Amino acid sequence: MAGSFRDLIVFNKAFEFAMRIFEITKKFPSEEKYELTDQIRRSSRAVCRAIGEGYRKRQYPKHFSSKMSDADMENTETQVSLDFALTCKYITRDEYHELLDTSEEIGRMLNHMVENPDKFRPKH
């Protein structure tokens, strides 16, 4: 098993996804700065934070599953913000589908971790 949360494929995908969100939101209108822009950036980054936090507690399967569930919740929140961004025409339909596909892949990986916490327990 990986020695660091940074070695996890899901962490790296989530980190790249959050950075893609950051780049895309640079073109959002300034009136969204304290609303949609901040919210989607925070929720996408929170996925990575929850993965890191949960990985540090992976010796406790229930805590680990809970943190991965939190990461999945933040991932879903990001998807809702993407829905708003598309509807408000801040992103193109192609950008939306690309981002949503990535988010859904991350969600599947997180769900696997929630359902299989013992696979991530440290080996002593």
Number of domain units in the chain: 1
What Cα–Cα distance (Å) separates residue 66 from each residue in 10, 34, 111?
16, 29, 11
Instruction: State the residue range of the domain holding 77.
Output: 5-120
The whole-angstrom distance between residue 74's C-alpha and the CA centroid of its chain comes to 6
Q: Which of 35, 48, 61, 58 is nearest to 103 (CA)?
A: 48
Q: Which residues contact 27 (CB under 8 A, 6 or more apart)?
A: 90
Sign of the dihedral through C-alpha 111, 20, 50, 58: positive
pTM: 0.93
Task: Name the packing angle between helices 9-25 and 61-87 (round to 10°).
Answer: 30
Residue with the two structure tokens 């991530």: 120
Over residues 92-101, the pLDDT tens digits come to 999 999 999 9
- At residue 8, the pLDDT reads 95
Over residues 3-46, the pLDDT tens digits come to 899 999 999 999 999 999 999 999 999 999 989 999 999 999 99
pLDDT tops 60 at residue 2: no
CATH of the domain at 63: 1.20.1440.60
Report CA Rg, the chain.
15
Q: Report whether 113 contacts 65 (CB < 8 A).
A: yes
- At residue 124, the pLDDT reads 65
**Residue 123's pLDDT band (cuts 50, 70, 90):** confident
pLDDT tops 70 at residue 1: no
Over residues 57-111, the pLDDT tens digits come to 999 999 999 999 999 999 999 999 999 999 999 999 999 999 999 999 999 999 9
